[in-house]
Amino acid sequence: MIETPHIKCNKEDISDVVLMPGDPLRAKFIAETYLDDYKLVNDVRNMLAYTGYYKGKKITIFSSGMGMASMGIYCYELYKFFDVKYIIRIGSCGSINKEIKLLDTILSTSSYTETNFSYTYSSKNINEVESSKYLNNIILNKDSKIKKGKTACSMVFDAYIENKDDYNTRLPKDIIASEMEAFALFYIAKLLNKEASCLLTVSDSLYDNKKISSIERQINLKHMIEIALETCLEVE
């Protein structure tokens, strides 16, 4: 049994390939919907994790919580203490590019942040980090319609930013969408010589005020989840 400050389970209970939604209940939904012979392997702080089999492949679904701080904790402990090799974040994002539409599926090829996460972590001023080309190539072969590009990673939920125009103006012009966890995941993966990628479903857009239904959202989230699961089958 391995017990870190945030995870308590047997080492063999965690697969070397992990899907990470933010929401613990989404982790539960994925396990119940897609995995065979799954079991709950972590519930410390109600950060639920399940390990089971998808088409015969052992996979762990581990919730990350919200924000870089939470993601940083869980991906570090999984990589460092449980010998995880691959993590694919699956979540939602907001589009800040006219060409990226509601319900599009996005692959983050790199994550930019204006925060001091890297400086606090390792005394280095790094604001952009790439995701895994190895995982990305597998993902892109699954669906040619996936949009790819640089995403922004914020410490603040975009709807609550006091002056969103100022924030968007400060961002590099090639940013296509904004979310809250990928930079921490990519940065720690690079430091520990691991692989990390991030798939996102567009849930809101700076250029579209349309309200999407719960059914539309669920269909597109399932599409993203299934791409991630199929990707897991091909990792070595």
Contacts of 127 (CB under 8 A, 6+ apart): 112, 113, 114, 118
At residue 74, the pLDDT reads 98
Give the pLDDT band of residue 152 (cuts 50, 70, 90).
very high
At residue 164, the pLDDT reads 83
Average pLDDT on 65-91 reads 98
Average pLDDT on 176-185 reads 97
> Is 166 in the active site?
no
Query: What is the identity of the amino acid at 196?
Result: A
Contacts of 178 (CB under 8 A, 6+ apart): 93, 94, 96, 151, 152, 153, 154, 158
Of the residues 13, 16, 204, 208, which is catalytic? 204
pLDDT at 177 over 80: yes
Enumerate the domain spans of the chain: 2-232
Percent of the chain with pLDDT over 90: 84
> What pTM did the predictor assign?
0.96
At residue 123, the pLDDT reads 96
Q: What is the pLDDT of residues 81-134, one digit of tens each?
A: 999 999 999 999 999 998 999 999 999 999 999 999 999 999 999 999 999 999
Indicate the pairing of strand 105-112 with strand 128-130. antiparallel
- CATH architecture type of domain 2-232: 3-Layer(aba) Sandwich (3.40)
